[in-house]
Amino acid sequence: GFAIASRVKLQSVEIARGPFGRLFGYATFNLGLAGGSYSLPGIPLAEAERVRRALLASMVETDFSRLVR
């Protein structure tokens, strides 16, 4: 695996699809980070949805007040 940013900085996870993405089953995976953003274009839609669900679940389950001091 690789790291894009600290998990604490992750604020949003979005999937965007343009006309070609809808036609061919691909998406752009957008991460909203404290201090910026990061986009991963050309991700298969099913994979983007799986990763989004996992990240959103971890955001709900994590008490971030314990991570930053």
pLDDT tens across 48-66, in order? 999 999 888 887 776 767 7
d(CA 1, CA 67): 21
Check residue 9 and report its DSSP letter.
Answer: G
pLDDT digits (tens, 9 = 90+) for 5-44: 666 678 889 999 999 999 999 999 999 988 889 999 999 9
Using an 8 Å Cβ cutoff, are 17 and 28 in contact?
A: yes
